[in-house]
Amino acid sequence: MREQLQERVAALKADFERGKARLEELDAEADQLRETMLRVAGGIQVLTEELARGDDPPAAAP
C-alpha cells in the first residue's frame, strides 16, 4: 500500500511540474502577444492620426 501511495505521489508531482512548465510557456506567449498588440495599436493610432489630418503627403519625385 505504501509503495502505491509513493508511486501516486511521484506521478502527481510529475503532472504538477508539467503543468507548471506549460503555464510558464503560456505566460511567455501571452506577454509576447501583448507586445505585438501594443505595436499594432500604436500603428493604428499613427495611421488614424495621419488620416484625420486630411493632408495628402506630396508625391515622391521620380
Q: Give domain limits for the chain.
A: 1-51
Residue 59: pLDDT above 70? no
User: 46, 44, 47, 48: which is closest to 36 by C-alpha?
Assistant: 44
Q: The pTM is what?
A: 0.68
Report how far residue 39's alpha carbon sits from residue 45's, in angstroms, rounded to the nearest whole number. Answer: 10
pLDDT for the residue numbered 54: 84
Average pLDDT over residues 28-40: 98
Helices (H), the chain: 2-53
Helices (H) and strands (E) in the chain, counts: 1, 0
User: 56, 58, 32: which is closest to 40 by C-alpha?
Assistant: 32
Higher pLDDT, 11 or 56: 11
